[in-house]
Structure 1
Amino acid sequence: MAKLSNLPIYASRIYFVLIVLQIPFFRIPCRSGMCTSPIQVTSSQLVASDVFPVAAVKALLYPGAIFNDLIYNMSVPSWNNVLGMYNLTDIKGASAMPDLQRLEVLAGSYFSVAGAFIGLLKPQRMSMFGTLLIVWGLVKEGLLGKPVNTDPTRAVYVYPTMLIAVLCAFSSVKYNFQKATAKPPPRPIAKPLKSSKKSKLK
């Protein structure tokens, strides 16, 4: 039971690493072009709407930029060039239609990123909720064909790592197995008061 009780903590940490390092979960059109992780979807929306300072968005993207550059180019990216790497420099003039057509993925990405950071402090359900929203958005487009996409280069694709993210998101929820399996304590039998009629008869 002790190992099982620590599962949400480890699952939350793995989920955080997957999110922050921008491990590809999917490939989907967004404002900046094609996004492959919840952080990229979230960052494109934050930069376009001016909700967060640019430095905060850079800090969100930089760990993943370092990880990907070390793997593919064996180099460390420049801090000043982070937005350029993700096509976010001129995103304010880009069309918001890709994000508006995929509101489930957009909202799910917000919840996933926020849940990944909050989950480090305390395992909770935000990551699971965000991941389910993303999965539903991808299923809706893949199976139901909404929105309709006629460009094969911008087709939606789901990577196998999405399954790992789903497992980690569900495992990060803390369940009280002991409380669920424990039998309720027996109810105490009420004894008659000394001053009652029953006690006087005895």
Structure 2
Amino acid sequence: MASKVRKWATIISFTASRIFFFFIFFQIPLFRFPCRIGTCMTPMELTSSQLLASEVIPSWVVTAVLYPGAIAKALFKDKPIPKYSDVLDTYKLKNVKGVPSLTDLQHIEVLVGSYLAIAGAMIGLYRSRRLGFFGMLLLIWGLSKEPLFYKRHEGLKNYKSAISVYYPTMSITVLCAFLSIRNDVIKIVSCFKWTFSKSKYK
């Protein structure tokens, strides 16, 4: 019984962690958020613009990380695959130094959540950790504050246009981030097994 529970939990956790990695690193749109390049729709775009603006890491590292997503976007939109050297231009990241962004202060949760989501997606390929799930929760918290921020600072009209900040893919990504935590999945599967066994022998 215990071995079957662990086997099912391992399968679920393994699959969920790979889907989570795919959504993050192939830059499936999850939200709308104002950033240095205009509007960011993925954690990768948000963190890349921040890292390039602060010059924390070399631009070639950002280019290498963004390129798989650039290929995926080109294939999805049936467009030519961009050259590796043109990736930063494609994402409007060539001249982000010194460009102000709301993310730095008013919405720090969104930035930190994006960093944690990316780190969690990478670590989740090798070990089950809660980092990615915590990152997604921070993202949701930060994004949920955006309409209230606009209502206070920019009036009712912009408030109404700022409400729609989530895409349906956000829910799928959060679920996958949670299911990639193997220990928690073991508890869930055990609970279902126990409930099923109890109802079977009634």
Q: Classify the TM-score, shorter chain.
A: 0.7 to 0.9
Please state how far the C-alpha of 1:153 moved relative to its aligned partner: 11
Please state how far the C-alpha of 1:118 moved relative to its aligned partner: 0.8
Rounded to whole Å, the distance in 2 between the matches of 1:79 and 1:126 is 30
> Which amino acid counterpart does residue 170 of structure 1 have in structure 2?
F
Q: How many residues are paired up? A: 178
Partner residue in 2 for 1:102 = 107
- 1:64-114 CA-partner distances (Å, limit 9, x unpaired): 111111221431101111111111111002113343221111000000001
Q: 1:134 to 1:33 in 2, by over 3 A?
A: same
2:39 to 20, 23, 34: 34
Partner residue in 2 for 1:164 = 172
Work out whether 1:74 is the aligned partner of 2:82: no
Q: TM-score, normalised by structure 1?
A: 0.81
Q: TM-score, normalised by structure 2?
A: 0.81
Please state how far the C-alpha of 1:149 moved relative to its aligned partner: 4.5
For 1:41-60, list aligned pairs within 5 A: 41-60=46-65
- RMSD over aligned Cα, in angstroms? 2.1
> Which amino acid counterpart does residue 121 of structure 1 have in structure 2?
Y
Q: Which runs of 5+ in 1 are unaligned?
A: 182-202
Rounded to whole Å, the distance in 2 between the matches of 1:27 and 1:149 is 17
Greater Rg over alpha carbons, structure: 1
Q: Which runs of 5+ in 2 are unaligned?
A: 192-202
Partner residue in 2 for 1:177 = 187
Partner residue in 2 for 1:200 = none
Q: 1:132 to 1:149 in 2, by over 3 A?
A: farther
Please state how far the C-alpha of 1:177 moved relative to its aligned partner: 3.1
Rounded to whole Å, the distance in 1 between the matches of 2:92 and 2:79 is 21
Please state how far the C-alpha of 1:154 moved relative to its aligned partner: 7.5
Partner residue in 2 for 1:146 = 149
> Which amino acid counterpart does residue 4 of structure 1 have in structure 2?
A
Work out whether 1:91 is the aligned partner of 2:96: yes
Rounded to whole Å, the distance in 1 between the matches of 2:41 and 2:161 is 12
Please state how far the C-alpha of 1:166 moved relative to its aligned partner: 0.8
Rounded to whole Å, the distance in 2 between the matches of 1:48 and 1:154 is 27
SS of equivalent residue, structure 1 residue 89:
coil
Work out whether 1:126 is the aligned partner of 2:143: no
Partner residue in 1 for 2:116 = 111
Q: 1:123 to 1:103 in 2, by over 3 A?
A: same
Contact kept in structure 2, 1:19 and 1:113, CA below 8 Å = yes
Contact kept in structure 1, 2:103 and 2:111, CA below 8 Å = no
